[in-house]
Structure 1
Amino acid sequence: MQSFGTLSFGHYGPLGGGRELTAGDSLKQAIDLAQGMDELGVNGAYFRVHHFARQQASPMPLLAAIAARTSHIEVGTGVIDMRYENPLYLAEEAAAVDLISDGRLALGVSRGSPESVVRGYETFGYTGSEDPRGADLAREHFDLFLRAIDGEGLAESDPHSPFGGGQGLQRIEPHSPGLRSRVWWGAGNRDSAEWAGRMGVNLMSSTLLTSADGRPFDILQAEQIDAFRTSWREAGHAGTPRVSVSRSIFPITTAEDAMYFGGRSDGDQIGIIDGMRSTFGKTYAGTPDELVEQLQHDAAVREADTLMLTIPSQLGVAFNLRLVESFARHVAPSLGWVPTNAVATA
C-alpha cells in the first residue's frame, strides 16, 4: 500500500435527538476534514456520488474548494455515475479542477450503483439505453468524455464568428494535459476490470463484487486486480496503472471508538444486487495491532497501491480526523505507507 485516503458517502439529514446535518454542513465539514488530512500527510479525499439522495451529487464544486484549501492531498470521486453526465461538460469541469489542484484530481467514474429511483438518468434527459441498467449509456458517455479530455477536436469552427476560434475542429476548453492518466473506472466484476485495462485507465475496485463462489472477498478482488493488470499489459499501454480498494476500517483506541465500532468486525456478506449474487467485503474493527495483522493478510489490500477508508462522515470533523490520524500513525506505516509530509510521524 503506497497511499491511503478516505471515501465519504456524504450523508446528511436527521441525526436523532432533534439534531440535523444539513447539505451545507456536510459540504463544509468535508472541506474542513480534507484540510486536516492534508496537514497529516494523508494522500486522498474521495467522495461517493449519488443522485436523488441525501448524499453528494455534484462533486466538482466541492473538489475545487478542497483543492483551493490544500496543498498535497488528492481530490477525487468514487464514483461519478456516467449515465447522468453530459460528457463534454464533465470534461470541462474535470479539466478545471485538475488545473486548480495542479494535477491532484483522481476522477473515478463508472456505470454507477443501484439507485433509489427508477432509471433516474432518463429524468436528467439521457434516454435511449437498451440495457435495463444503463451500462451501454455509461460507456457511450465515457468514450466521448475520454476523447474530449484527450484534446480531440469535436466541434467545427465557425469562420464567421466575431470571436475567432481558429480553423477546423475545436477541442473543449480548458484542457489539462495529463488528466487522462488520472481517470479511474469503478469495476464491480472481472469483465469490467478487464475492460478498464483495455481502455488504459486506472482501476477502482468496488466495495462489492458480483460474484459469489464461496471464496473470500479479498481473494476474488485480488484476482480481479490481476485480470485488470494483465489486460492493461496485453493492450500495450505504457506505464503502470494505479489500483484502489476500499475498506471499512476502524481503529479502536478510545471508549468512544469501542461504543461505536466494538463488535463490528464481521465476515464477508453474500447478498443480491442488480439481481446478481454478490460478495460484500467485511468490516475491520479492532486495536491497531489487530488491524495490522488482519490487513497484512488481506490479499487485495496487498495488491492495491491505494486504500480508501470508508468513514462515518455524520460523526463530524473532529471524530473522523482522529480516526484517520489513528490509522495514519498506528496502522498504515506497517502496511508500507509513507506520508506526503513529515507531520504524521512527528
Structure 2
Amino acid sequence: MEVPLKELAELVDGEIIGEVELIISGVGGVENVAKGEITFAQSDEYLTKAESSLAAAVIVADEIESDKTLLKVDNPRLAFAKIAHEFEPELYKTNEIHSTAVIADDVECGSNVSIGPQVTIESGVSIGDNVRIAAGAHIGSQVKIGAETIIHPNVVIMHQTEVGNRVIIHPGAVIGSDGYGFETTSEGHYKVPQLGNVIIEDDVELGANVTIDRGTTGSTVIGRGTKTDNLVHIAHNVRIAADCLLVAQVGIAGSAEIGEGVTLAGKAGVVGHLEVGANTTVAAQSIITNDVPPDSFYSGYPAREHKSEMRIKAARRKLPAMVKELRELKKEVKSLKEEVKEG
C-alpha cells in the first residue's frame, strides 16, 4: 500500500517541510522503520535516531534543521497513530458468510457483514453494518452488535448482551458469563441465578481473555470509549463510565462503580460496592477498599492517597534501624534501673 505524504498531512493537519511529493509505503518505529516508511520523533533522542534511519519522512512537533523530509504537527504520537491506521490491514473482511458458520434462521445482518469459519450465531441476534466476526466466535441468543464492530477469533458473547458501534473485542474474551453469586447454607452453596446482561457502549476496546460477568439483575455496563488491556475481570453489576483505562490483570468486584476517565494500572483491584471517583488514577497492584473521591491518585495495599502512602513507605524503611535503637535503649534503661536498685 502506498499513500502520498500530502494526503497524510491533510489527515493529521500537518505541514510538510521538504519533499512534498513523497509517497509513503508504511510506518515504523525509529529503530525498525524501513525504506519508504514514515516514523515519528517525540524527543531529541528519538530525533537523532530517526535522522540516521531509513525513514522517508519524520513526524515532529517543531521545525528543525534536517536532511529528512519532516511532517510538523502538534502531537507527533497522535499523528503517527492516525497515519498508522491508514496502513492497518482490514482483518477478517470478506463481506461474506463462511460456509461452515452455523447461523439461526432469524438472525438479522446488516450490509457488508463478514462471518468467518466455525462461527455460531443463535436465534434473535441482530448484527449491524460492516461487522467482522472471526473464526470460532460464539454469539448467544438475543445479542445486539452495532455497526463497524470487530470480534476476533474465539470470542464468546453470551445471550442478551448489547454491543455498541465500533467496538473491538480481542481473542478469547468472554462477555456475559454468569456472575459469581452463591448463598451459603448448611447444605452447601446455593447458586443465585444471574438474570441480567452486559451492555458495552460505543468505541470500547476489550483485550484478549477479558471476562465480563452479566448482572445478577440489571446490567453490567462498560462505558463509551473505555479501553481494557488483556486479562481484565469485571464482575456482575459493575458500572464503568466513559473513557476509562483498565490495564492488564485489573479485577473489579461486583457492583463497584468506576467514574469517568479513571485509570486502573496493572493488577489493581477494587472491592465490591465501592465508588471510584472520576479522573482518578490507581497505581499498579493497589487495592481499593474504600470509596475514592474524584481527581485522586491512590496507591498501596490497602490503597491510600499516594502522598500519604509514600510517607508510610518512607517511615517503614526506617523500621529496622528504629527497632535496633529501641533495643539498645531498653538495655540502657535496664542497666540504669539496676544501678538505682543497687544504690
What TM-score range do you get, normalising by the shorter chain? under 0.3
Q: Considering Cα pairs closer than 8 Å and 6+ residues apart, tell me whether 1 or 2 has the greater RCO.
A: 1
Q: Relative to total residues, which structure has the larger strand share, 1 or 2?
A: 2
